[in-house]
Amino acid sequence: MLLRQSHLSTALLLCSLFLPALLHSSGVASSLALGVGFTAILVLAASVMMRRGAFYLSAAVLMIPFVILVLFAHLWVVNLLVPVDFSRAGESLMLLVLVVVGAGGFADVLADSDPERIKKAVYVSLALLLALGFFGAFHILQPFADKLNEPVFPFSEPSHFSLVLTPLLIFTCASIPSTKMRIFLISAALVDAMLLQSLTLVVSCVGVAILCLRKKYLIMTIMVAVLTLAVSSISLDYYWSRLDLSSSLSNISALVYVQGWQLIGASWESTYGIGRGFQQMGSFGDNLSAAKAIYDLAGMHLNLFEGSFVLSKLLSELGIIGLFLTIGYLVVAFRAAKLLRRVATGRRAADPLLVFAASCIAGYSVELILRGAGYFTPTAFILLSSILIMTRKHARTRERHCRVADSNS
């Protein structure tokens, strides 16, 4: 029974990582959010059947009334200042409830799993993703290429691929003892980044190197990466154009990023920092300078609903509440990064479950600040589970330290 449960937990981890993207790319789900919702149902059903405890699921259920109350109260206040689409917010709120409860169930599944199974599942997933990135760069294994512009199976675009790969790369590089293997994996991810021309993945690789490599190896890896870029035939103009945030922008990706910050400013100005309300992006911002420039270049508005990166959506929609949520996340992410650094440098024994949770939390920072796809993504789903796991682990550690201190006094 335990063996079957362990295999099922591995399958659920793989489903959480890949199934939402597959459902979206294939057209079965009209959006990535619906794919995440379907995955949450699957994970929740499986966790209810196989669980031996339901601590995290119970905690998630207890959170729901508070979340609903806060979001609807916020929408009511916003409606006093600007019009609010309550039907859109209500539909998304039902999905949010499902995802939060599913994340609680998934946390229980991970907590009851064999740690070695988790490690093997992550290692296999990372190897598979690195291979899929290479295939995608050369247009191999693209069953949905007729529907999508730049797919990396099963993802609809390279940035979504990069966001899922990031926590797996962090976990693997923090867990394996071999420095050579860490450098090899980071280098392989950098090759994928160059072939796919993914600035998101380049930033992720730099972050993983900083977290998991000692200083002398970090400097050496950066030098090799710079040398590889210098001698490669891949043009650097693409990357420089994305990094150029001047007023004379002509790159759509850079414009979309600037638009995300402009949306925050427009929202805070019109609502005095309260925000426009949960899932209200898309109802404003088409008159911003970046939005107009995007329309002139692309013939349509882009990313007004998602905000380009999650921080833009959080601050634009939830205002001060979003700011406090961001600060809370950054505190937890700092703890996660500190833990990962200690594990990677051998100063702390590795608990695979805790390292996995910390990797997912730290990896989400790229999605928060650089490139996102809204609230409902595979990485956001696993982030919720990881925060529940890490918060309880941290509380248990503090309780244990207090007991030791009391016994010594």
Domain ranges for the chain: 1-145+153-407
Query: What average pLDDT does range 234-259 have in this prediction?
Result: 65
Helix %, strand %, coil % for the chain, to 5? 75, 0, 25
Structure tokens at 361: 């939390």
Q: Which two tokens stand for residue 57?
A: 């699921």
Angstrom distances, CA of residue 385 to CA of 55, 57, 102, 358, 382: 12, 10, 9, 11, 5
Residue 6 has pLDDT above 70, yes or no: no
Side-chain-facing half-sphere of 274: CA atoms under 13 Å:
18
Q: Which residues touch 175 (CB under 8 Å, ≥6 apart)? A: 119, 343, 350, 352, 355
Task: Please tell me the predicted confidence (pLDDT) of residue 338.
Answer: 93
Angle, CA of 38, 72 and 262, to the nearest 5°: 85
Average pLDDT over residues 233-260: 66
pLDDT at 143 over 80: no
Q: What digits encode the pLDDT tens for the residues 157-172?
A: 888 899 999 999 999 9
**Amino acid at position 87, single letter:** S
DSSP-derived secondary structure letter, 149:
S
Peptide bond preceding 154 in cis form (omega within 30 of 0): yes
Lowest mean pLDDT among 8-12, 21-25, 393-397: 393-397
- The pLDDT of residue 45: 85
Residue 55 has pLDDT above 50, yes or no: yes
Neighbours of 152 (CB within 10 A): 29
The mean of the pLDDT values for the chain is 83
What is d(CA 93, CA 88) in angstroms, rounded to the nearest whole number?
Answer: 9
Number of helices and strands in the chain (H, E):
15, 0
Which of 135, 130, 119 has the alpha carbon at shortest distance from 350?
119
Q: Please tell me the distance from the alpha carbon of residue 124 to that of residue 380, in angstroms, as a whole number.
A: 21
What pLDDT, on the 0 to 100 scale, is given for residue 235? 52
Using the predicted structure, report yes or no on whether residue 407 has a pLDDT greater than 60: no
Q: Which residue in this structure is represented by tokens 């109350």?
A: 69
Query: Considering only 3-17, 56-70, 123-137, 189-203, which range has the smallest mean pLDDT?
Result: 3-17
Contact 56, 111 (CB under 8 A): yes
The answer to whether the beta carbons of residues 151 and 142 sit under 8 Å apart is yes
Residue 330: CB atoms within 10 A of its CB come to 12
In terms of Cα–Cα distance, which of 220, 192, 223, 217 is closest to 205? 192
Please report the pLDDT score of residue 60 as a whole number: 87
Of 63 and 301, the one with more pLDDT: 63
Q: How confident is the model at residue 292 (pLDDT cuts 50, 70, 90)?
A: confident
Residue 53 is encoded by which pair of tokens?
């405890």
pLDDT over threshold 70, residue 239:
no
**390 C-beta neighbours (distance < 10 Å), count:** 22
Residue 232 pLDDT more than 60? no
What are the residue ranges of helices labelled H in 284-377? 289-298, 310-344, 352-369
Do residues 89 and 75 touch, judged by C-beta distance below 8 A? yes
302 vs 363: which has the higher pLDDT: 363
Q: How long a stretch of residues is the chain?
A: 409
| Separation CA 55–CA 267 (nearest Å) | 38
Percent of the chain clearing pLDDT 90 (strictly above): 41
Tell me what pLDDT residue 401 has. 43
The residues that bridge with 155 in the sheet, in sequence order, are 152
pLDDT at 342: 92
Q: How far apart are CA 349 and CA 101, in angstroms?
A: 31
Is 61's pLDDT higher than 50? yes
The per-residue pLDDT for 243 is 56
At residue 148 the predicted structure's pLDDT band, cuts being 50, 70 and 90, is low
Residue 283: exposure state from Cβ atoms within 10 A (0-12, 13-18, ≥19): middle
Q: What is the pLDDT of residues 73-110, one digit of tens each?
A: 999 999 999 999 999 999 999 999 999 999 998 998 88
User: Residue 398 CB: number of other CB atoms within 10 A?
Assistant: 10
Q: Is the pLDDT of residue 270 over 60?
A: yes
| Confidence category of residue 371, pLDDT binned at 50, 70, 90 | confident
Mean per-residue pLDDT for 336-360? 89
d(CA 47, CA 284): 40
